[in-house]
Amino acid sequence: MCGIVAVRGPGGEPLARDMLGRLRHRGPDGEGLRRVGDTILGHRRLAIIDLAGGKQPMVNEYGDLSVVFNGEIYNHLELRGELQARHRFQTRSDTEVMLHLYEDEGEDMLRRLDGMFAVAIAGPHGLLVARDPMGIKPLYIGWKPGSTYIASELKAFPPVDAIEAIPAGHARLNDGPPWRFALPFPPQRALRPVDPSEALAEIRRRLEQAVLKRLMSDVPVGVLLSGGLDSSVIAALMRPRTVALHSFTAGMAGAPDLDAAREAARYLGTEHHELVYTEDEVRRALPEVIRQLESFDAPLVRSAIPMYFICKVASEHVKVALSGEGADELFAGYAYLARMRGTGALRSELVGITERLQDTNLQRADRMGMAHGLEVRVPFLDLGLVRYAHRLPLEMIQPREGRAEKWLLREACRGLLPDSILNRRKLKFSEGAGSSGLGAKLAEDAIDAGTFEAEKRVRGATPLRSAEELYYYRIWREVMPPTVSPRLVGRTRDPLAAAGAGAAGGDAA
């Protein structure tokens, strides 16, 4: 895990070093720079795999190819076995595997990577950049005449004429157009009837595999535990595979998540840690939360507040933690989805909210973890599980009366946890942590209705949706570089609009 930058054009090493300085939080364990042709690659390291030998930028045996990489490649040992006959490895790291795989297969190697990644490779053909199929790790590209810049976060860029996100599953070579090298969803979904017991067993098997892969580390791995279904299932699957599992939660005094997480931790026998924060601490932390999150989207900021504190306490004990992002998108966990009419509309909505995770919940998980030098891994978004869930007949997933949301996941994991945890109703992250109303309260004291109407239209972005969002936008504008456009901020789905569209649309083609 780390922060990466690349500079092609004037400015060179001093500019790259300045950009890296703004990403220090992403990699407190070291810094490296290397020139390859007309490109400077830069790297801030959080050491997780091959602590002694995994420094970056990493160079091949001929010195003409170099890589910087943010993320983890879970199948790197398998790939290494294929490559060892043709290459002399100097390290145990997954980074070097990517370097030699690129030597052999060029850009085609991207399709073979199983993991989360943002990568930049400089060599004889120029600069290749790419981002994993789910968009778990961030990557941006910026330009001004004669120069191209790459960085993990928006705040790292110098003044430029334009910045764009590299979309999930896309790559670019030099200044050419982006192309998509991987789809998170199968182009043809199997609609054949599936026996429910078969589906439950396959979901459990794939989730167990996803968790096991994400325990790959040379440092201890913990779990972010809210006490809800998703994080508790992850913790339950981790527990027998770890010697001493550390779990973490955060919330305000009396928050539902605190008691629920304690119950799950007691049952599983984890070494549990919690952080109880106050309203004053939220108020003081909010500008830093928004600066690190790089967003003013109100629901995202609300959920980022407890994530910020839970990552803070986790980083005091571990460098890696697993989290439950993605389960609601795969198994229809949101309440508004039950109001959608027609399986076509629901299918489209599930695909859409899963694809938008790169700009919403995954951005929150990455940025809040990296704010504290913590790598957050997300087993529910393992490609094998994602693709299987989206091939299931929608009737098996669709919320309906008499069946709890995410019933497939609950039943697939029956026996792992007490029914009191498996049957716990869903709460939004900020609700469970007890801090969901603080932003609205702060906005109410600062922004009246007339001010909101006058300021809700922001150039380059869809209109702000509430006084609370305007409050966050004002902070965002203060803490972000002035050249960063609001159009780069992802927006969470409006549940009322989504449910209304589904109700009106009926079955979609």
Helix, strand, coil shares, percent, the chain, to 5: 45, 20, 40
> CB atoms < 10 A from the CB of 185, how many?
17
Whole-number Å distance between alpha carbons of 286 and 440: 13
Inter-residue contact 28 to 17 (CB < 8 Å): no
Whole-number Å distance between alpha carbons of 140 and 150: 6
Q: What pLDDT digit, counting tens, does each position of 290-338 carry?
A: 999 999 999 999 999 999 999 999 999 999 999 999 999 999 999 888 8
Give the list of residues 6+ apart from residue 249 with CB closer than 8 angstroms, or none.
Answer: 224, 225, 226, 227, 257, 258, 261, 272, 273, 274, 275, 310
Task: Say yes or no to pLDDT of 508 above 60.
Answer: no
Domains present along the chain, CATH in parentheses:
2-180 (3.60.20.10), 196-436 (3.40.50.620)
Distances (CA, A) of 508 to 148, 340, 342, 349, 503: 42, 12, 7, 11, 11
What is the Rg, in whole angstroms, of the alpha carbon atoms belonging to the chain? 22
Owner of token pair 């050249």: 483
The question of whether 311 is a catalytic residue gets the answer no
**What is the average per-residue pLDDT within 143-169?**
96
Tokens of 297: 């989207």
Please state which of the ranges 9-18, 26-35, 183-192, 334-343 shows the lowest mean pLDDT: 183-192
SS3 336: helix
Task: Say yes or no to pLDDT of 277 above 80.
Answer: yes
Decide which of 107 and 435 is more confident.
107
Whole-number Å distance between alpha carbons of 101 and 113: 10
Give the list of residues 6+ apart from residue 2 with CB closer than 8 angstroms, or none.
Answer: 26, 27, 43, 44, 45, 46, 56, 68, 69, 70, 152
Catalytic residue, chosen from 2, 150, 337, 489, is: 2
Task: Say yes or no to pLDDT of 192 above 90.
Answer: no
> CB atoms < 10 A from the CB of 219, how many?
13
Q: Work out the mean pLDDT of the chain and round it to a whole number.
A: 92
Amino acid 486: pLDDT: 96
Inter-residue contact 332 to 461 (CB < 8 Å): no
Q: What pLDDT digit, counting tens, does each position of 448-497 carry?
A: 999 999 999 998 888 999 999 999 999 999 999 998 999 999 999 866 55
End-to-end C-alpha distance for the chain, whole angstroms: 41
SS3 222: strand
Amino acid 162: pLDDT: 95
Angle between helix axes 438-446 and 467-479 (nearest 10 degrees) is 90
Q: What pLDDT digit, counting tens, does each position of 63-79 carry?
A: 899 999 999 999 999 99
Amino acid 296: pLDDT: 97
pTM over 0.85? The answer is yes
